[in-house]
A and B are shown apart, each in its own frame.
Chain A
Amino acid sequence: MTISTAPAPLAAEAPVTAAPPRGNRLGSWLIFVMVALYFLVPLAATFYWSLRAEKGVLSFEAYRRLFADTNFLPAFTESIVNAVIAIFLSLLIIVPTAYWVTLRLPWLRPVVEFISLLPFVVPAVVLVFALIRLYSRPPLLLTATYGSSRVVLVCAYAALSFPYMFRSVDNGLRAMDVRSLTEAAQGLGANWATILVEVIFPNLRVALLSGALLTFAIVIGELTIALFMAQHTLGPYMANLTRAKVYEPSAMAVVAFAITWAAMGMIAYISRERKGT
């Protein structure tokens, strides 16, 4: 053992944080206000426009007409169902993959990350043409009927969700000591199914919900793929609405925005709840 004669380190000093100069603070506020305006002005304008359906008064008439439209609810419902199925499909593919990569194949992580990012690289219009080309002839003729096209659409949505889902799940797995938890459970006699269901999934709750809600937010208003696959979902419905009506598209945009923000708010709330527990 070597005996060090070096002086003992001094106790860590508390970080000294000086208040920023007045000019800096003003600059920060200015940037904040500009960014806020950049986001809020179009939103406020859209909302204001959506209230002007009746001449001379501000009312929710556009919203009433929107919800009264017989095509709205089926399109909305279909989008929700598609989103839910896409979420489950994505979870089924991503969770075991991310778990196994974390546990046994960490060297494969860059490859899986790259694959999960492909939907960002390939534009939706390219993706949909590739899908149509691949699945519109035997032996994989899946675009012949509305139902089979919907299967392709949902699979495409699952693929679109990979970047968000993989990142959420991967972050969740990194936040816990997956290897030790798995080994502890194994040592206590648990098999793989028990480990996944009783140990891994419950501790990934927030990550899974984050990934799921982000997927939901993307899928609910998706236009390009749904349009080319001739699906009657919310995206094409909104596009048609924009062409045919004046105030209802604004009302629809506000509703879609509210749904997305509700999803985001739910992620934030659940994350905060989790941190608090």
Chain B
Amino acid sequence: MSGGFLSLEGVRKEFGGTVAVDTFNLEVAAGEFVSFLGPSGCGKTTTLRMVAGFEPPSSGTIRLAGKDVTFAKPNERNIGMVFQSYALFPNMTVGRNVGFGLKVRGRPKDEIASRVREMLELIQMQHLEKRYPYQLSGGQQQRVALARALAIRPQVLLLDEPLSALDAKIRVELRSEIRRIQRELQITTVYVTHDQEEALSISDRIVVMSAGRMEQVGAPFEIYNYPKSAFVASFVGTLNQLRCQVVDPAGGKLSLEGQTLLSNSPVSAAAGQQVLAMLRPEELHFGAADGENRLDGEVLSVVFLGGVVRVQVGIGSSVLTLDALNERRLKLPKVGDRQTVSFPPHACWVMAGI
């Protein structure tokens, strides 16, 4: 694969004998928004730092607009980076922070002033140009950091968990703003996060990573609904993993604690073997429905989460989690109630090899 605006070919990074990133191949198109999603220590930040030039790869090639930048210094790459800790210069005002990159490039003063104004308008903070970072809230500081990174007209914008230090409400607001600005400027963006909701809501494509490897690359819809590995399935979203016995592989017939269920997905295991049946909680509902799988069990817990109500149902030794959309007329089940849970065969997919 070639022709991406930003391309990583066989990039690998070792620290001592530990492999932090293993054979990373990715093509990012111009103007695309790609997120690296994974748990702590999966190598997503290391990969980003290699793109930025802060870590040299142990092997592989990084190209930016067709130019090999694998071992170029960070200040030779024209990449804008936003850090989790904002990294605003405490001794400089908002305006000087935003204009810093242009100043070190030796741009004329009037050009710097005009670009600073333009950037502050973009983040709607024109009135705070004279403030110091300590006089701003966390959200405002991160917006300034974004403006500073964009002021130099970078070819690629890198964001390393930029919203992690902010509270939930600001995080949601700011991620929409980042996406708005990215779309407005059509800037190629790589975003690192461990927050699946953030990645799903903001990205054109997501790279799910685990233990230094790329698990899956795809659009958010694809990643969520068609995970290619048990890791992706369980890391992205909430997932029920039910240990079932194969009854009829050709017909997708499985047995769970003596109850039968059908799956539309191919079952590669032979009859009698154990497989994992995967079910998203939001695809389950209470009550029997024609043509759907039915499982009977006992309600173990009911947790009200606002928009949804999360109910756990015990089916023998297995526990099934069900998310019901909240509405005023919803009748909440009680702990200890016997309930029937239904789901269509297409909602259940099977992973062998457990």
Contact B75 A190 (CB under 8 A): yes
| With A183-B83, A184-B83: A277-B234 Cβ-Cβ less than 8 Å | no
Asked if B299 CB lies within 8 Å of chain A CBs, one says no
A187 close to chain B: CB less than 8 A: yes
Cross-chain contact A180 with B83 (CB below 8 angstroms): yes
Residues of chain B within 8 A (CB-CB) of A176 are 90
* A202 with B91: CB separation less than 8 A: yes
CA distance A203 to B148 in the complex (A): 19
Contact across chains for A183 and B75 when beta carbons are under 8 A apart:
no
Determine if A5 is an interface residue (Cβ-Cβ < 8 Å). yes
Whole-angstrom distance between the alpha carbons of A270 and B104 in the complex? Answer: 29
B81 to chain A: which residues have CB within 8 Å?
183-184, 187
Taking the complex as formed, is B308 at the interface, i.e. its CB lies under 8 A from any CB of chain A?
Answer: no
How far, in angstroms, from A190 to B103 measured CA to CA in the complex? 9
In the complex, are the beta carbons of B104 and A189 less than 8 A apart?
yes
Cβ–Cβ < 8 Å partners of A185 in chain B: 89, 100, 104
Contact between A5 and B301, CB atoms less than 8 A apart: yes
Contact of A186 among B74, B91, B149, B239 (CB under 8 A): B74
B321 within 8 A of A: yes
Contact with A along B79-106 (1 / 0, CB 8 A): 1110101011111000000001100110
Instruction: Give bound CA distance, A203 to B312, whole Å.
Output: 54
Contacts of B62 in A (CB 8 A): none
**B205: A residues at CB distance < 8 A:** none
In the complex, A199 Cα to B235 Cα: how many Å?
40
Q: Mark A174-212, 1 if CB is under 8 A from B, else 0.
A: 001100110111111111001000110011010000000
Known contacts A5-B301, A176-B90, A194-B104; is-contact A187 B238 (Cβ 8 Å): no
Chain A nearest CB, measured from B138 CB (Å): 14
Which secondary structure dominates chain A's binding surface? helix
* Binary contact readout B270-300 vs A (1 if CB under 8 angstroms, 0 otherwise): 0000000000000000000000000000001
Chain B residues 141-162 with CB under 8 Å of chain A are 145, 148-149, 152
Q: For A5, list chain B residues within 8 Å (CB).
A: 300-301, 303, 312
Question: What residues on A are CB-neighbors of B105 within 8 Å?
Answer: 189
**In the complex, which of the residues A3, A187, A191, A199 contacts B52, with contact meaning CB atoms closer than 8 Å?**
A187
Is B83 a contact partner of A186 (Cβ separation < 8 A)?
Answer: no
A3 contacts across to B, CB distance below 8 A:
238, 303, 310, 312, 321
CA distance A194 to B101 in the complex (A): 11
Contact of A203 among B53, B73, B77, B91 (CB under 8 A): B91
Q: Are the CB atoms of A188 and B83 closer together than 8 Å?
A: no
Q: Does A1 contact B (CB under 8 A)?
A: yes
Q: Are A187 and B75 in contact (CB under 8 A)?
A: yes
A198–B90 Cα gap in the complex (Å)? 11
Q: How far is the CA of A154 from the CA of B53 in the complex (A)?
A: 42
Q: How large is the interface on B (under 10, 10 to 19, 20 to 34, 35 or more residues)?
A: 35 or more
**Bound CA–CA A194/B300 (angstroms):** 62
Residues on A with C-beta less than 8 A from B235 are: 1
What is the minimal beta-carbon distance from A251 to any residue of chain B, in angstroms?
A: 42
Measured in the bound complex, the distance between the Cα atoms of B78 and A71 in whole Å is 62
In the complex with contacts A3-B238, A5-B301, A187-B80, A181-B104 CB distance below 8 A: no
Q: Does B24 contact A (CB under 8 A)?
A: no
User: Does chain A have a CB within 8 A of B336?
Assistant: no
Contact of B101 among A180, A188, A203, A205 (CB under 8 A): A188
Q: Residue on A with the closest CB to B236? A: A1
- Which positions 54-79 of chain A face chain B at CB distance < 8 Å? none
Check B234 against A1 for contact (C-beta < 8 Å).
yes
Q: How does the 8 Å CB contact mask read for B31-65 relative to A, with 1 for contact and 0 for none?
A: 00000000000000000000011100000000000
Q: How far is the CA of A198 from the CA of B89 in the complex (A)?
A: 9
Tell me if A181 and B87 are in contact (CB < 8 A): yes
Q: B237 near A: Cβ within 8 Å?
A: yes
B132 within 8 A of A: yes
Distance (whole angstroms) from the CB of B16 to the closest CB of chain A: 12
Chain B residues with CB below 8 A from A186, complex form: 53-54, 73-75
**A1 & B238 in contact (Cβ 8 Å cutoff):** yes
What residues of chain B lie closer than 8 Å to A190, measured between beta carbons?
75, 100, 104
B75, B100, B132, B238: the one within 8 Å of A277 (CB): B132
Contacts of A203 in B (CB 8 A): 89-91
Chain A residues, Cβ within 8 Å of B53: 186-187
Q: Do A177 and B74 touch across chains, with their CB atoms under 8 A apart?
A: no
Measured CB to CB, the nearest residue on chain A to B152 is A188
CB contacts (< 8 Å) of B104 on chain A: these are 185, 188-191, 194, 198
Q: A189 near B152 (CB under 8 angstroms)?
A: yes
Specify which chain A residues have a CB less than 8 angstroms from the CB of B77 in the assembled complex: 187
Q: Which A residues between 227 and 265 are near B, CB-CB below 8 angstroms?
A: none
CB contacts (< 8 Å) of B74 on chain A: these are: 183, 186-187
* Cα of A180 to Cα of B149 in the assembled complex, Å: 13
| Min distance, Cβ A173 to any Cβ of chain B, angstroms | 13
8 closest A-B pairs by CB: A188-B101, A180-B87, A202-B91, A184-B87, A186-B74, A187-B81, A190-B104, A189-B75
A-B contact pairs, 28 of them (CB 8 A): A1-B235, A3-B303, A5-B301, A5-B303, A180-B87, A181-B89, A183-B54, A184-B87, A184-B88, A184-B89, A184-B145, A186-B73, A187-B52, A187-B80, A188-B75, A188-B101, A188-B104, A188-B152, A189-B104, A189-B105, A190-B75, A190-B104, A199-B91, A202-B91, A203-B89, A203-B90, A205-B91, A277-B132
Given contacts A186-B73, A189-B78, A277-B132, 15 further A-B contacts (CB under 8 A): A176-B90, A177-B85, A183-B52, A183-B74, A184-B81, A186-B75, A187-B52, A187-B80, A187-B81, A188-B75, A188-B148, A188-B149, A190-B75, A198-B89, A198-B100
